[in-house]
Amino acid sequence: MLRLITDFDGPIIDVSERYYRVYQFCLQNVRYPEQSVEELSKAEFWQLKRSQVPEKQIAIKSGLDPDQAAEFAQLRRKTVHTDNYFHYDTLIPSAVEALLKIQAAGIDLAVMTMRRIRELDYALKKYNLGSVFPENRRYCLSNDYVKTTDVEDKPLLMQRALAELPPATETWMVGDTEADIAAAQKYGIQVIAVESGIRDRTQLEIYQPNLIVQDLSTAVQLILQTQQVQTR
């Protein structure tokens, strides 16, 4: 049995609008009443995020001073994963079609995400993806989980998934960050990084995934081609 484990935000969900709205909120809340700030365009902001420019530098680039930048970074961390902002997320074009292709091909499909249960449930309900990812194929954080870092937490999810899921002859991981790559590499799983998420190609290359492709749809095409070759 062939299996695909996919991250949620990045391969399936576009989080750029949520992150940008939080950036705007934090900038306006941290600035002094009469202070002139330079709000970045969404394209400028997202390019900085994807190239892993630190939050404080983004704040300073927007006209805040170092003390404000520290406050900005703290407020952003508290805000970006709150319920008020998740409705800004959107589906990546062609992602659902790619997931349905995987299902139709009889490939076992699981999701592995740093979202908490309530955050994942909200999105699965909103986008009607519950049947694509039944409960026994969802790997996420509990609602009260105390996060460390994604690079530490995601391999723990992978460890749990590999212990619970039925054996597979071959497993692929698709993700958009170093945490996805680390989780796959720790357990000898082939990993495809996608450029549709929060890291650009330059950042992804540092972590040496097996492949870097444009999006989930392209990754699925490659996996299906591999399956066809193996079944000939």
> Residue 68 has which token pair?
């404000």
**pLDDT tens figures, 51-70:** 999 999 999 999 999 999 99
Average pLDDT of the residues of the chain: 96
In the block, tokens 């952003």 appear at 76
Q: Given this model, what pLDDT does residue 230 score?
A: 66
Nearest to 86 by CA among 179, 11, 22: 22
- Using only C-alpha atoms, the chain has a radius of gyration, in whole angstroms, of 19
Which run of H or of E encompasses 161? helix 150-164
Q: What is the pTM of this model?
A: 0.95
Cβ–Cβ < 8 Å for 192, 210 = yes
| Cα–Cα distance for residue pair 6/2, rounded to 1 Å | 13
Residues 6+ away with beta carbon under 8 Å from 29: 75
pLDDT at residue number 231 = 59
